[in-house]
Structure 1
Amino acid sequence: MFERNGDYPTAVASYDDEGVDAAITWCRNHLQAGDTLTVWTSLKSNLRNCRELEQLVNRNSNVEHTTGRAGGPQVRGRGPVLMAWADMDDIGELVRFSGPRIRALCVITYNEDNLNPWVAAAKPVILGDGTAWENPEPELEPVLLEALEGMTKSINHNNTIAARGYEKNTVVSILLALHDAGIPMDGEAMQGWALTHGWSGKNPQHLRDYVTAINNGKRPRADRMLRSDYIDRLREKVAAGD
């Protein structure tokens, strides 16, 4: 069940005429009978920054505009979603509030670096100028990947990992064990992976923040004790898989 957010097609588009046109076409191609194409921007006024998107919303009855304000993005009708100038935190919030309604997701970038980890994990269709993604980021270390998969299956994704409780204890104890074993952890790469493997809302962001804190020498509190051979068992699973 941990790939619950990866069952719809994804695309990423450059913010230029070619990329925007391709993004609109890609989303239109994923419309089905009765669907609504939702255009997302962080603020309502942002829509005026792109004439093509503004016209798309204003001239089509099956296209709606939503924003990341007012309690989170709300997609009212099922269909493709076109996120303009979103980052990974925005994607997490969209999935949190509207995941079941998303038929396809396309993100127009404004800063390629902010989306690189998500692009590397989601492997979306590249639209427009794909120069920024010609050299994908390296894959996660196998032992780390094994730990993330186990972590993902263990926690309730309806609960936050930021508050004291089972989910936080599980995540933090595993991250500390990985750090103490010398397993390299990249917070943003892990956030991108989490976004494509069932994590939603602010939890991918919290995961990144925990990793950043631990890499900087902090030790967030965790009340759960892992088996002393936890890392060894992960390595055995990786070896068996190979």
Structure 2
Amino acid sequence: MQLTLASHLQREYPAAVTPDELSADEADDLSVQWVLQQQAHLGGQVLLLYLTARDRDEHPILDALQDTGGVVTTTERSMSRSGWAGGPVLAALPNLKSLGMLGDNRRTSALCALTWNFEAIAPWASAVGAQLRGADSDTAPAPAAGDAVLERAMISVTRRVNMNNTLKAGFEKSVVVGALQLLRDHHHVLDAGDLYAWALAHGWPARRVAELRDIVGHMNAGKNPRIPRDVHRDDSYARWKDPGDFDRA
């Protein structure tokens, strides 16, 4: 049974990523081609974003893009002062945090991640269905929370929390941590990467997704976060386990 949330919760945009088997020049060239194609289709201004200034070394193909008229080149720290008006983004050597930030930015019309470490950003690629540039497979595999019970629990959590509030305090912490503890007590595997990808694909803002990943990571490291109060009903797990009960809830 495939469970999804309403599509209006999801922020959708064209996305691409470079797999590790490409050479540096191939990855640079395919990324530039893709982002210029998106600009031709969607309009807007191309943003070439480096994580740090140190990452700008020895990229002649990206240097050529940078010299193209109308392309804004900057680093993550300086992005707010770059004057970028919005459009397709080529993120050079990004991390999950920067990709989440760019995905949440309404000015981002398309996003290409140029990486030499695909595994490090695989949860993002999976969440957004990124096209694999130059690879045999068209897109990154779709995210899954792990199993049907865990996915129903995550849907329940998503419906209850206010994404404007941190997950590390108050009611939101009680909902998220309480649900994860229930799942762990019933021997479900909590994979931080899988849950990150699932939450991002289901409309969670990047800050909350990062908090969820941190919480799961701490729990998997043997820590047991305290919750302000128990907000889950005695039959919560039973409802997550029974599709019929969950659908009627």
Which range, TM-score by smaller chain? 0.7 to 0.9
Give 1:51's aligned residue: 60
Q: Is the 8 A contact 1:67 1:73 kept in 2?
A: no
Q: 1:134 to 1:208 in 2, by over 3 A?
A: closer
TM-score by length of 1: 0.83
SS of 1:82's equivalent in the other structure is strand
What RMSD over aligned residues (CA atoms) do the two structures have, in Å? Answer: 3.0
Per the alignment, residue 87 of structure 2 pairs with 79
CA distance in 1, matches of 2:221, 2:195: 16
Q: 1:109 — aligned with what?
A: 115
The unaligned stretches of length 5 or more in structure 2 are 1-5
Quick one: distance in 1 between partners of 2:97 and 2:107? Answer: 19
Which residue among 204, 216, 222 is the counterpart of 1:217? 222
Aligned pair count reads 236
Aligned amino acid, residue 94 of structure 1: L
Q: 1: distance between equivalents of 2:179 and 2:81? A: 31
Superposed displacement of residue 80, structure 1: 0.9
| Map of 1:10 onto structure 2 | 15
Asked if 1:177 corresponds to 2:182, the answer is yes
Q: 8 Å contact 1:73–1:93 — kept in the other structure?
A: no
Aligned runs of 1:11-30 on 2, under 5 Å?
Answer: 11-14=16-19, 16-30=24-38
Q: Do 2:143 and 2:201's aligned partners in 1 also have CA atoms closer than 8 Å?
A: no
Instruction: State the alpha-carbon separation in 2 of the partners of residues 46 and 134 from structure 1.
Output: 25
Q: Aligned-pair distance for 1:213? A: 1.6
- Distance in 2 (alpha carbons) for counterparts of 1:111 and 1:73: 28
Deviation at residue 35 of structure 1 after TM alignment: 0.6
Separation of aligned partners in 2, 1:107 and 1:101: 16
Contact 1:143/1:238 (8 A) holds in 2: no
CA distance in 1, matches of 2:55, 2:152: 40
Instruction: Specify the SS of the correspondent of 1:100.
Output: coil
In the alignment, the residues of structure 2 paired with residue 25 and residue 102 of structure 1 have an alpha-carbon distance, to the nearest angstrom, of: 17
Q: State the AA in 2 paired with 1:103.
A: S
Q: Name the SS of the counterpart of 2:109 in structure 1.
A: strand
The whole-number CA distance in structure 1 between the counterparts of 2:75 and 2:200 is: 19
Residues 1:121 and 2:130 are matched in the alignment: no
Q: 1:126 offset after TM fit, Å?
A: 0.7
Structure 1 residue runs of 4 or more that deviate by more than 4 Å after TM superposition: 1-5, 70-75, 133-139, 238-241
AA in 1 matched with 2:196: Q
Distance 1:238 1:118 in 2: 31
Check whether the contact 2:153–2:240 (CA below 8 A) recurs between aligned residues: yes
Match of 1:40 among 44, 49, 65: 49
Percent identity between the two aligned chains: 29
Q: Structure 1 residues 182, 77: closer, same or farther in 2, change over 3 A?
A: same
When residues 68 and 190 of structure 1 are mapped into structure 2, their CA distance, relative to the original with a 3 A threshold, is same
Q: What is the aligned counterpart of 1:100 among 83, 96, 106? A: 106
1:63 partner letter: V
Among 189, 205, 214, the residue aligned to 2:210 = 205
Higher relative contact order (CA 8 A, sep 6+): 1
**C-alpha distance in 1 between matches for 2:54 and 2:223:** 40
**Over residues 100-126 of structure 1, what are the superposed CA-to-partner deviations in whole Å (9 max), with x where a residue is unaligned?**
111111111121221222233332111
8 Å Cα contact 1:151-1:171 kept in structure 2: yes
